Amino acid sequence: MTFKDIFKSSFLENITSVSLLDMFIALALAFGIGVFIFYVYKKTYSGVMYSSSFGVTLIALTLVTTLVILAVTSNVVLSLGMVGALSIVRFRTAIKEPLDIAFLFWSIAVGIVLAAGIIPLAIIGSVIVGVILLLFVNRTPSRNPYIVVIRCADHASETAAKQFLESRTERCIVKGKTAQKGQVELNLEIRLRDDNTDFINELSDMKGVESAVLVSYNGDYMG
> Is the pLDDT higher at 155 or at 37?
37
pLDDT exceeds cutoff 50 at 173: yes
The predicted-structure confidence for 201-221, as pLDDT tens digits, reads as follows 888 888 888 888 888 765 544
Confidence bin at 222 (pLDDT 50/70/90): very low
> Is the pLDDT higher at 153 or at 131?
131
Q: Where are the alpha helices (DSSP H) in 137-223?
A: 155-168, 199-204
pLDDT, the chain, mean: 79
pLDDT score recorded for residue 218: 58
Contact partners, residue 137, CB within 8 Å, separation at least 6 = 44, 46, 99
When mean pLDDT is compared over 17-26, 74-83, 139-148, the highest value belongs to: 17-26
Instruction: Name the 3-class secondary structure at 197.
Output: coil
The predicted-structure confidence for 44-61, as pLDDT tens digits, reads as follows 887 666 777 888 989 999
Annotation: CATH topology of 145-216: Alpha-Beta Plaits (3.30.70)
Interval 93-97 mean pLDDT: 69
Buried b vs exposed e over 9-35: b needs ≥16 C-beta within 10 Å? eeeeeeeeebeeeeeeebbebbeebbe
Instruction: Name the 3-class secondary structure at 199.
Output: helix
Distance CA 98, CA 39 (A): 18
Which value, to the nearest 10 degrees, does the dihedral of the CA atoms of residues 43, 44, 45, 51 take?
-40
> Is the pLDDT higher at 40 or at 2?
40
The closest of 28, 37, 27 to 107, measured between CA atoms, is 37
The closest of 119, 115, 15, 123 to 67, measured between CA atoms, is 115
pLDDT score recorded for residue 223: 38
pLDDT exceeds cutoff 70 at 166: yes
Confidence bin at 31 (pLDDT 50/70/90): very high
Domain ranges of the chain: 14-136, 145-216
